[in-house]
Chain A
Amino acid sequence: MKHNFVDKYSGIDSPVHRIDPRIKLIVSFVCIAVVVSDSRSGFAQFALYFLLTALLTVLSRVPAAHILKRCLIVSPFIFMASLFLPLSHILAGDTVHGPSLGASPKAALMILCKAFLAVILLNLLSSTEKFHRLLSGMRRLKIPSLVGTILALIYRSVFVLIDETQKTTRARQSRTPGTLKMPRMTVYGRQVAIIFLRSWKRSQVIYTSMLSRGFNGEFPCTRELSLSRYDLLSGGIVTMLFLAVRLWSF
């Protein structure tokens, strides 16, 4: 399986790409928190949030089509969550348009806006940085070392296992054509077990090779990251702009 789609646009040279991954991680988290926690703003403020993210996208030179495609992929889940807000009140017999219920169409639209803004910001984060540098950034930000190591291991092996899954799926489909019957559950269960067993077997080989390279519980943290004044300034400006929209009273 080709996995260059993960950080396909990370090689572009742009003002956003040049920012240190640690700053990008922090700024993304803060900006998402600012947008998501904004419950008092109207659509004018949200239009400004969208304008800011659009500006970041243009600056990053990541094709807008790529961002839109990713939004489209997750859109069914977001639309469903948004739709369920009024629906959950209707099913419970509440008044849909009651202002105190927070279940008005406006509230549902706000969920849509917030969720899509968060998806775009997250997408910008993963599209403007090589994944191994993001992992380095996380480790330098002192996320638990166990999580950092597991993340690196999953990232290194997941695409190999996706190949295994595709192979076993093809094998299963050729063995069991036809409509769904209960015994099929056994077939699916066995496929899952085979994937787990193969990963288990690989983990023993991987551990031996990791030991031979001096693994002592966690991967060494490379020194390739260094904070510059540009990183701090650009991170600060983006955060301040999002905060300014949040504090703006129309």
Chain B
Amino acid sequence: MHISDGIIQTPVCLAAHAVCAAAIYISGRNTEQEDIPKMGMTGAALFTASLIHFPFAGTSIHLGLFGLAGIILGRRAFPVIYAALFLQSLIFQHGGLLTLGVNALNMGAGAWGAWLLWRVKRLPESLRAPSAGFLGILIPALLMAFEFNFSGYGKGIFYLLTIYLAVAVIESGITFSAVRFFRKVKADILP
């Protein structure tokens, strides 16, 4: 899901950087000082948990957990995802410097989608949690397919979504299980 430099058109990447700056400002407003270490540590947890590989169809997929980040951090998930991606691009060259804005917007949108869904309290938690995990993957995958299509790829790129659909189902199960665990062990982590 990390788009490397050289794939997406440069004006799109630059525009994404500008939108990212606005999104960071909006999501970071009124952040309490004591929230910052939590955000940093959640970012580190997000970074490391994404290194867990889940066996799937003879291969393995790594977790994204944007839905879970959206549930726990709410709108503040965006700067955390941005920082984690920045670090990943510098340390592992996963994603690029120019595409950082695009990648952050894709994955941040997934987290924000999950957060908005999580806030619909009239739905039972057993439905909200897996759906949030599902959206956390599906929204970035959908945005990525549109961006690829905009950059010259054929409409066939949307077939890629079927793979991400399977990943989203796995993520929804894992997110549901994690939320259930939080509810039992430390319910105050869930807003």
Q: Check A122–B178 contact: CB distance below 8 A.
A: no
Decide yes or no whether B19 CB sits under 8 A from chain A: no
Q: Check A118–B28 contact: CB distance below 8 A.
A: no
Decide yes or no whether B86 CB sits under 8 A from chain A: yes
Task: Give the residue among B4, B21, B51, B189 with the most A Cβ atoms within 10 A.
Answer: B4
State whether A199 and B4 are in contact (beta carbons under 8 Å apart), knowing that A122-B89, A151-B86, A189-B173 are contacts in the complex: no
Q: Point out the residues of chain A lying under 8 angstroms from B92, CB to CB.
A: 73-74
Compute how far the CA of A89 lies from the CA of B149 in the bound complex, rounded to whole angstroms: 10
B44 contact from A28, A37, A103, A199, Cβ within 8 A: A199
Q: Check A206–B37 contact: CB distance below 8 A.
A: yes
Expressed in whole angstroms, the minimum distance between the Cβ of B7 and any Cβ of chain A is: 5
A36 contact from B6, B54, B56, B152, Cβ within 8 A: B6
Compute how far the CA of A192 lies from the CA of B63 in the bound complex, rounded to whole angstroms: 10
Flag the segment in A55-63, A152-160, A221-229, A233-241 that touches B: A152-160
Q: Check A74–B45 contact: CB distance below 8 A.
A: no
B154 contact from A37, A89, A118, A125, Cβ within 8 A: A89
Q: Check A189–B152 contact: CB distance below 8 A.
A: no
Q: Check A36–B63 contact: CB distance below 8 A.
A: no
Q: Point out the residues of chain A lying under 8 angstroms from B63, CB to CB.
A: 188, 192
Flag the segment in B112-120, B135-143, B156-164 that touches A: B156-164
Decide yes or no whether A54 CB sits under 8 A from chain B: no
Expressed in whole angstroms, the minimum distance between the Cβ of B171 and any Cβ of chain A is: 10
State whether A154 and B83 are in contact (beta carbons under 8 Å apart), knowing that A36-B98, A190-B181 are contacts in the complex: yes
Expressed in whole angstroms, the minimum distance between the Cβ of A19 and any Cβ of chain B is: 16
Expressed in whole angstroms, the minimum distance between the Cβ of B106 and any Cβ of chain A is: 15
Q: Check B177–A185 contact: CB distance below 8 A.
A: yes
Interface of chain A residues 34 through 79 with chain B (CB within 8 A) = 35-37, 70, 73-74, 77-78
Q: Check A114–B175 contact: CB distance below 8 A.
A: no
Compute how far the CA of A6 lies from the CA of B47 in the bound complex, rounded to whole angstroms: 15
Number of interface residues of A (CB under 8 A): 84
* Dominant secondary structure at the B interface: helix
State whether A115 and B42 are in contact (beta carbons under 8 Å apart), knowing that A77-B2, A92-B154, A146-B31 are contacts in the complex: no
Expressed in whole angstroms, the minimum distance between the Cβ of B39 and any Cβ of chain A is: 6
Compute how far the CA of A70 lies from the CA of B94 in the bound complex, rounded to whole angstroms: 10
Q: Check A192–B79 contact: CB distance below 8 A.
A: no
Decide yes or no whether B165 CB sits under 8 A from chain A: no
For B65, the closest partner residue in chain A by CB is: A192
Q: Check A88–B157 contact: CB distance below 8 A.
A: yes
Q: Check A196–B94 contact: CB distance below 8 A.
A: no
For A112, the closest partner residue in chain B by CB is: B6
Interface of chain B residues 1 through 19 with chain A (CB within 8 A) = 2-7, 9-10, 13-14
Q: Check A119–B4 contact: CB distance below 8 A.
A: yes
Decide yes or no whether B167 CB sits under 8 A from chain A: no
Decide yes or no whether A245 CB sits under 8 A from chain B: no
Q: Check A200–B42 contact: CB distance below 8 A.
A: yes
Interface string of B151-191 (1 = CB under 8 A from A): 01111110110000000001001111111111001100100
State whether A144 and B21 are in contact (beta carbons under 8 Å apart), knowing that A154-B40, A189-B176 are contacts in the complex: yes
Measured CB to CB, the residues of B under 8 A from A are 2-7, 9-10, 13-14, 21, 24-25, 28, 31, 33-34, 36-45, 47-49, 51-52, 54-56, 63, 65, 68, 72, 79-80, 82-84, 86-87, 89-94, 96-98, 148-149, 152-157, 159-160, 170, 173-182, 185-186, 189
Top-6 shortest CB links A-B: A189-B177, A153-B40, A91-B156, A114-B6, A118-B5, A89-B154
